[in-house]
Structure 1
């Protein structure tokens, strides 16, 4: 626990503010769609950070920031074009400038993370990982003290809806697991993070989050030599405790009841309605002409769709339909800039984050974008280590050559 405090509230400089932001992120006190206290706090901090001329991302990670910036510029053009086309007409959904501001806000926070890493290096990685773990622990402790999850089938704790809690638990665990590949975090903390974020996902009764976490757990075992005795022991212990917890404890019995209740609610959907239509993907097949440049977000009353006057319930569907082929290509290039030159298991770590967006809209959820920034940061860290290893190898090689020269000279002098 001392290490957690040292790298969070006890961190130096701007890292302490970053830790406070991550710890405050899960606590929503204002209506959905509004700027939350953590958002206001981090914008103020970033403002001072920029004034101090510290906002410098660095050459290695600049392409990542620039790639998402291009995507943000394109979506702003599309949404503004839709606004002009619908002047004088009724338009459901948020105004174009609000929609675009969400993306630019996430861009700024992503840039802040990259700039902090450039300034502090490894201490930033430690702060981010420990702050996420501590934030999860705080949610659990405070939820019991304040009884925030005493009613309802799906819990949201301090978020405004259960899907946010589910996506947060997935993103938080992904951040810890990705970062622990490069820093020395005690195994106890890693296992604790599995417990904390799995518990949060169970409270949310999010099947997408729980399914994605299974993929994360598999990726963790593969990245850490799945056939080692230690990992086999961990699988048996964690699996056994998890089974007992779900089947025997009061929390487990409540979770099973909530799953059954949720499944019963989903059965109320008309049998003729497919998942494709239920999520809003039918807009793509009903209006394929929008794939050329994108339909933009907002103005949902324009479309022939099952979920009228609502956004598509999918991040993937939103990008494809709302921003068309150009927007999809820009986003794919951005994702490529995140993962290129990384070992394959990092790609596996990223899959659950994207998979969740197939059935849920999470493009405005900042912790998702923060999780994505951990991949280029880890790539930079790996490149630094490779460089240092080469320098050390060259020095050792030079020393060996010098030693051989001295031996030859000594032999020649005899």
Structure 2
């Protein structure tokens, strides 16, 4: 229903204002919905095999992206972009990849490989220097550490390292602080966060939020995604706000209903992963990105697994009981 509504609203606006973007954005949502359905269909056929294949592919993608960043640095920009056009796209990809990594572990414990993969994603997020990406990755870090999949000894190790860094940054530990700041990526992140709220693009006006107040009628009927010159110089820099403004409360409601149906009766941990993703989307376009719809499909595939969730002590005891019976 959401995709159908995007076509309806966009083509009505296209009839009066022939901007090709109205049509393109409708087809983007249709394309992404087909991707979602295709991935779900693959998981439905063989959940365990598809989950393992996706997990291995994700690890390969992480390593490949790291090699691109290291071997082909962006000499013209201090912010890395890797295989993407912009650094913010790389930052969002790191957020989605980390979230997908957490989902793909399902009933399995984290291994040293998972810790290494998350560390690489953290490093690439630091190179991207996206303020939104850095902030939400802090949240993902805590979700990663306190995930039921995290072995206790790994959790203590990561928390010890994080505490050491925090004490050196906030407290009076100049030697440790100088050690961490000696890494260019850490120093760059520190300086980048120091500009938070001080740059012109950090304001609601720069992100395009004021059009929600200045043109409230579109919150009901939807402004469509196109002909942005009607409201300002550029499109609204927010995924959630774009849905609300472009497709009205009904389109926004249909999208929320779609998410609710996809995550219904899944582990709460899966649903919680949407929080950092949509926090990133408060200042960036994040709904159109096809990788986001793949994440939704991978999370939805949790319905095809018997335990429908993450690793828990209950699952562990159940496995031990089954072995005892054998």
TM-score range normalised by the length of the shorter chain: 0.7 to 0.9
Equivalent residue for 2:230, pick from 299, 302, 306: 302
Higher RCO (C-alpha under 8 Å, 6+ residues apart): 2
Assess, with a 3 A threshold, how the Cα gap between structure 1 residues 379 and 158 changes in structure 2: closer, same or farther: same
Equivalent residue of 2:221, what SS? coil
Equivalent residue of 1:359, what SS? coil
Q: Which residue is equivalent to 1:168?
A: 93
Task: Confirm or deny: 8 A CA contact 1:182 1:378 kept in the other structure.
Answer: no
For structure 1, which runs of at least 5 residues remain unmatched after alignment? 1-69, 400-414
How big is the shift at 1:126?
Answer: 1.3
* TM-score between both structures, scaled by the size of structure 1: 0.67
Q: Which residue is equivalent to 1:335?
A: 259
Task: Confirm or deny: 8 A CA contact 2:107 2:149 kept in the other structure.
Answer: no
Q: Which residue is equivalent to 2:280?
A: 356
Matches of residues 10-409 of structure 1 in structure 2 within 5 Å? Answer: 70-87=1-18, 91=19, 94-146=20-72, 148-183=73-108, 187-224=111-148, 228-237=152-161, 240=164, 246-257=180-191, 263=195, 267=198, 269=200, 275-303=203-231, 308-382=232-306
Task: Confirm or deny: 8 A CA contact 2:223 2:245 kept in the other structure.
Answer: yes
Superposition misfits of 4+ residues, deviation over 6 angstroms? 241-245
Task: Confirm or deny: 8 A CA contact 1:149 1:156 kept in the other structure.
Answer: yes
Q: Distance in 2 between matches of 1:239 and 1:381?
A: 36
Equivalent residue of 1:223, what SS? coil
Assess, with a 3 A threshold, how the Cα gap between structure 1 residues 226 and 155 changes in structure 2: closer, same or farther: closer
Q: Distance in 2 between matches of 1:322 and 1:246?
A: 45
Q: Which residue is equivalent to 1:60?
A: none
Assess, with a 3 A threshold, how the Cα gap between structure 1 residues 100 and 157 changes in structure 2: closer, same or farther: same
Task: Confirm or deny: 8 A CA contact 1:205 1:255 kept in the other structure.
Answer: yes
Superimposed CA distance per residue, residues 148-176 of structure 1 (whole angstroms, 9 cap, x where no aligned partner): 23341321122100110000000001000
Q: Distance in 2 between matches of 1:141 and 1:278?
A: 34
Count of residues in Structure 1 that have an aligned counterpart in Structure 2: 304
* TM-score between both structures, scaled by the size of structure 2: 0.83
Assess, with a 3 A threshold, how the Cα gap between structure 1 residues 172 and 339 changes in structure 2: closer, same or farther: same
Q: Distance in 1 between matches of 2:217 and 2:164?
A: 52
Assess, with a 3 A threshold, how the Cα gap between structure 1 residues 382 and 212 changes in structure 2: closer, same or farther: farther
Task: Confirm or deny: 8 A CA contact 2:47 2:304 kept in the other structure.
Answer: no
* Structure of greater Rg: 1
- The more displaced of 155-164 and 219-228 is 219-228
Equivalent residue of 1:157, what SS? coil
Superimposed CA distance per residue, residues 341-398 of structure 1 (whole angstroms, 9 cap, x where no aligned partner): 123222222211121111111222111111122221113314579xxx9xx99xx9xx
Assess, with a 3 A threshold, how the Cα gap between structure 1 residues 183 and 117 changes in structure 2: closer, same or farther: farther
Q: Which residue is equivalent to 1:41?
A: none
Task: Confirm or deny: 8 A CA contact 1:246 1:255 kept in the other structure.
Answer: no
